Amino acid sequence: MPKGNSAAAAPRTMIVTGASSGIGEALTRAAAARGYRVVAVARRVERLEALRASITDGGGRCITVAADVTAPESAARIVDAALRDFGRIDVVVNNAGGGTTGALLEQSDAQLDAQWRLNVVAPLRLARAALASLEPVRGVLVFVGSGSARIPLPQWGAYASAKAAIRAAAIQLRRELRPRGIAVTYVDPGLVATEFHSAMGIRRPNGIVPTAPDRVARAILRGIERRRAVVNATPLQSLGTLLGEFAGTLADPLIRARFAPRPVATAYEEPIPPCHPELVEGRHSHTPSMEAALEPLARRMERVKLPQSFLREALVADQTLEFNALAMRWAGMPNKNERAALREALDALAAAGYLQPLEDEKWQVLRSAQ
């Protein structure tokens, strides 16, 4: 970050999405150890709280926001939480992502839409929400991409298309925002030892040694500090991607033969439930109890007298919840604090898989409370 700026001398704040595992978790820990105050964002409430407790027990500063980043209201919630607790935003790392395998034209509208919203729309929405806070401190926007943005791999066409779009968006934003003092960094992480592949029920490609998430996190932090336009977290893998892209059609036979997804077949290698189960049709992830999902909000709910029993009764499968109607049913004419608490509770339930955010402050109930 720039020297000689009084704002830059204050403790810095970083937002990290997809913080409950993999690169996001590693970056959250590394940034906190480096003195950043971190806003960790993810859907999995229990993992987020374990991460927060670990960091704060070690003397770091971390708050969590349980949210589905694809929900239209999540960007404002994340930015508001950062400003409320820390007063500023210096870095936004758009790390949350995911995809599905399958021939491009055989993927459903729901799968295509989910990948586009998660990998393209959500990062741009959060960047837009944070822009006014980043400009005064000459902040940094980070977009975590993929080598498949340059070399689409077999059966990953929809994911590759979305990552190619966010790579192009990062280049565009770098040029647009430079006059405003905001740096934009695009990260090619390479093949990383995370849950990404197992969440989809497939194995990682043979012949490439996966990089540890901690190494990628360190590379991202260096890129942020140096305000780099591009971070190739695993340079040799990035070089291979560059050569493959340059080879064009000559590389097609090798890519088809070497990089087709292989299903997980062994009994001891269980797929890990994805953070965004809507990306994988027919696959169900473990859903925590309603009590566990709401535990981080328990004190706040007690202060505004929002009982879990009210929310339990509202969770009727396949019904649609409309925010204003639900708020009035609970509190008559709810005040600002009551509305905020109810919204946080609904977002926590969405993060835990009970609700699916819709447009216009509505949620679809996916399952009743356990």
**Global model pTM greater than 0.85:** no
pLDDT, tens digit, 9 for 90 and up, residues 20-61: 989 999 999 999 999 999 999 998 888 999 999 999 999 999
Describe the crossing of helices 213-226 and 22-33 by its angle, rounded to 10 degrees.
50
For residue 278, pLDDT beyond 70: no
Does 186 qualify as catalytic in the annotation? no
Task: Give the pLDDT band of residue 360 (cuts 50, 70, 90).
Answer: low
Token representation of residue 53: 């407790």
> Mean pLDDT highest for which of 250-259, 262-271, 284-293, 296-305?
296-305
Average pLDDT score, the chain: 83
- Among 93, 89, 116, 91, which residue's Cα sits nearest to residue 186? 93
Task: Give the pLDDT band of residue 332 (cuts 50, 70, 90).
Answer: confident
Q: Which of 36, 159, 186, 354 is catalytic?
A: 159
For residue 268, pLDDT beyond 90: no
Nearby residues of 91 by Cβ (< 8 Å), 6 or more positions away? 12, 13, 14, 15, 31, 36, 139, 140, 141, 142, 224
Nearby residues of 272 by Cβ (< 8 Å), 6 or more positions away? 195, 198, 199
Residue 5's pLDDT is 47
Of residues 254 and 39, more confidence is placed in 39
For residue 260, pLDDT beyond 70: no
Least confident of 113-122, 124-133, 244-253: 244-253
For residue 245, pLDDT beyond 70: no
Q: How far apart are CA 301 and CA 341, in angstroms?
A: 7
Q: How far apart are CA 222 and CA 72, in angstroms?
A: 31
Residue 269's pLDDT is 35
Q: What Å distances lie between residue 76 and 125, 135, 234, 335, CA to CA?
A: 9, 17, 33, 19
Other beta carbons less than 10 A from residue 138's beta carbon: 17
Residue 263's pLDDT is 56
For residue 264, pLDDT beyond 60: no
Q: How far apart are CA 213 and CA 196, in angstroms?
A: 12
Instruction: Give the mean pLDDT of 280-306.
Output: 72
Domain 6-277 has CATH 1.10.150.250: no
Of residues 2 and 193, more confidence is placed in 193
Residue 288's pLDDT is 72
From the number of C-beta atoms within 10 Å of its C-beta (0-12, 13-18, 19+), residue 268 rates as exposed
- Among 42, 38, 3, which residue's Cα sits nearest to residue 19? 42
Q: What Å distances lie between residue 100 and 23, 106, 125, 187, 201, CA to CA?
A: 19, 11, 22, 21, 10
- Among 236, 41, 16, which residue's Cα sits nearest to residue 140? 16
Q: How far apart are CA 315 and CA 291, in angstroms?
A: 13
Residue 304's identity, in one-letter code, is V
For residue 267, pLDDT beyond 50: no
Least confident of 38-47, 184-193, 246-255, 318-327: 246-255
Instruction: Give the mean pLDDT of 115-136.
Output: 96
Which stretch of DSSP H or E encloses residue 92? strand 91-94
Of residues 11 and 62, more confidence is placed in 62
For residue 197, pLDDT beyond 50: yes
Of residues 193 and 75, more confidence is placed in 75
Residue 369's pLDDT is 78
Instruction: Give the mean pLDDT of 315-341.
Output: 86
Of residues 8 and 291, more confidence is placed in 291
For residue 282, pLDDT beyond 60: no
Residue 280's pLDDT is 43
Q: How far apart are CA 131 and CA 115, in angstroms?
A: 24
